[in-house]
Chains A and B, each alone.
Chain A
Amino acid sequence: MISLAGEPKTAAVTAHARGQETTGTTTVKRGFAHMLKHGVVMDVTTVEQAQIAEEAGAVSVMVLDKLPYDIRQQGGVARTASLRVIEEILDHVTIPVMAKCRIGHSYEAKVLQETGVDMIDESEVLTPADEERFIWKWDFTTPFVSGCKDLGEALRRITEGASMIRTKGEPGTGNVAEAVKHVRILNKEVRGVRGTYESGDTQELLRLSRELKVPFELVEETGRLGRLPVVNFAAGGIATPADAALMMTLGCDGVFVGSGVFKAEDPRERARSIVVAVTYHDDPKVVAEAQKMIDERKSMMGTTDSLRMQERGVNV
């Protein structure tokens, strides 16, 4: 069963009856994310890259104009990818296709929905378009994934209609440390809410919901489930099979790999090895075999520049 926590009354408005069939329901949107579990979503910029990702076993591809590493290098404004490239990719792979839009840019999102992408990432990797608001994601039939650094951000994005959550990490750096940090913070906060829920201290749950600026219902549901009420992936800085396996052992439902595959010199082997490591993260022997498929000298260089993409977007 899919948790429907946080669904506003207006969500019924965005679900469309089509004969006996109803599209755009919360179950269908959140359910889509459930099908990605134990999988790897890979950033791609071309049809060729999308096909390499599909052959390697990616559960979905995320289309960008530039990989996060290149966005860091080139600077300037980063926007959603060319619709023609997205359409070409939609026509050439059988797995789901996602694309990023700018934070708060409802119209880039509308355009992506028209194109027919399967999920939209309202992403801090692109230059934010609204300094005060995120997109009201309940208005869309297409599900959204959103980034978070902690429980408050995750539940606020779910309140706005996100059907899936990922950690922000620090994209394009090749450094997994920030993603680890964000998952650890999230886990610790969820454990806290779980403890409070089990102790029956409703007033403390209410205080927490005020502190996190989210509806009480979502805090209560997090406590009841002992996890986020939607699927939660790791993202931001994952570059090797061992990185991916580490994120899975920390309790993530799957991983996004951004620059890690196609900024490496061995993208095919790298993509395949990360897929294997995610599925068999509980078996170090298999992860070691996966790690042997790649060569550290071919890993992305990584960067230590000071741009903090994770701080983008309004903090409410």
Chain B
Amino acid sequence: MLGLQGDVEEHLSATQTALSRLGREGEPTLVKSVEDVRRVSALIVPGGESTVMGGLSSVKGIIPALRERISGGLPTLGTCAGMIVLARKAPDRVVGETNQIVLGALDISVERNSFGRQRESFEAELRLELPGGERFRGVFIRAPAVKSMGPGVKELARLGEKVVAVQQGRIVGTAFHPELSESTLVHEYLIKLATGQPERA
């Protein structure tokens, strides 16, 4: 778990639940330094504020280490702000282009606050192209959406016209918050990617 800002504990507990549902061993841990980045076998970039996480990642200089590990095939999940941090570009719906720090690991352009402000935040049933994802209740909070994606990126879910979940190799990005849902299938999928047994839907 990238532990700089956001709903880190919710991801810790979802991962713990996913591990026990899969009957796997594993120790969810916080990532706040370069040494932490080097140690983990999978990474989650949580929900929160992407501008804040981007800015804080420079304090201990973990950005190069994150880029290196993710491009080296580290299974990575980014939810909401986490997906923004992983993206190549992330303009805001109202404010437009900003100079916020993104990792550029996922070949997508993400529109921030794509569905509007908090009063427009919502829950919705999704069809998620992952094992067991036929009916997944997505929690969207000031959520972003994928505006454009490169050729290597696969769409995992869409809501109306908007793409809200993607996968590129071992990187998964969701506009919603699987850590706030009852189902832990997204976390289970990440664990399977990390332990080398992913099955596609």
Contacts and interface: CB of A to CB of B under 8 A. Distances in A.
Interface string A71-84: 00000000000000
A23 B98 contact: no
Interface string B105-142: 00000001100011111111100000000000001111
A279 B47 contact: no
B124 A59 contact: no
Given A22-B122, A27-B180, A279 B142 contact: no
Nearest to A40: B52
Given A59-B48, A94-B113, A286 B123 contact: no
Given A20-B125, A21-B122, A31-B177, A37 B59 contact: no
Contacts of A143: 118
Contacts of A91: 94-95
Interface string A19-57: 011111101100110111111000000000000001001
B10 interface: yes
Contacts of B119: 23-24, 113, 116, 118, 141-142
A38 B5 contact: yes
A117 B98 CA distance: 21
Nearest to B113: A94
Given A31-B177, A118-B142, A94 B94 contact: yes
Given A95-B49, A276-B56, A37 B180 contact: no
B155 interface: no
A35 B139 contact: no
A96 B118 contact: yes
B55 interface: yes
Contacts of B159: 20-21
Contact of A59 (B3, B5, B59, B120): B5
Given A28-B122, A34-B10, A94 B56 contact: no
A28 B125 CA distance: 14
A117 B181 CA distance: 25
Contacts of B8: 37-38
A9 interface: no
B52 A28 contact: no
Contact of A32 (B9, B55, B118, B123): B118
Contact of A34 (B3, B120, B180): B180
A143 B142 CA distance: 13
Contact of B120 (A23, A38, A57, A117): A23
Most buried by B among A25, A276, A280: A280
Contacts of B60: 286
Contacts of B9: 37
A279 B32 contact: yes
B77 interface: no
Contacts of A28: 121-123, 139-141
A118 B117 contact: yes
A28 B140 CA distance: 7
Nearest to A253: B9
A28 B122 CA distance: 6
Nearest to B59: A276
Interface of A: 1-2, 18, 20-25, 27-28, 31-32, 34-39, 54, 57-60, 90-96, 113, 116-119, 141-143, 275-276, 279-280, 283, 286
Given A38-B8, A279-B5, 17 more contacts: A20-B159, A25-B122, A25-B123, A27-B180, A35-B80, A35-B81, A36-B48, A37-B6, A38-B5, A58-B52, A60-B49, A94-B95, A94-B112, A118-B118, A142-B118, A275-B55, A276-B56
17 contacts: A1-B182, A18-B122, A20-B124, A27-B123, A28-B122, A31-B139, A32-B121, A38-B3, A39-B5, A39-B49, A95-B49, A117-B117, A118-B119, A279-B4, A279-B5, A279-B59, A280-B59
